[in-house]
Amino acid sequence: MMAVLIDVVAVVVILTASAALTATSGRHLWPQSASDALGGFSVACLFVVWAYVRAWNNRRTP
């Protein structure tokens, strides 16, 4: 149950960060400036970190 709660919180944080980073960019499909591209890259990094942490927490220890 705790893992589900952590997942939900992580997804909410990532989506909130994504919305905050793209709120001023007009939500273009393609980055219109370097700051838009950096914002998208930051969100992608958050997803990668989240996936890594999930994999680390789910590893099987002998």
DSSP helix/strand/coil, 48: helix
Provide the pLDDT for residue 14. 75
The type of residue at 44 is A
pTM reported for the whole predicted model = 0.47
In the block, tokens 């838009």 appear at: 36
DSSP state of 60: P
pLDDT in tens, 10-23: 878 777 777 776 66
pLDDT in tens, 1-59: 677 777 788 878 777 777 776 665 565 555 666 766 677 777 778 888 888 888 887 77
Q: Which of 22, 8, 20 is nearest to 50 (CA)?
A: 8
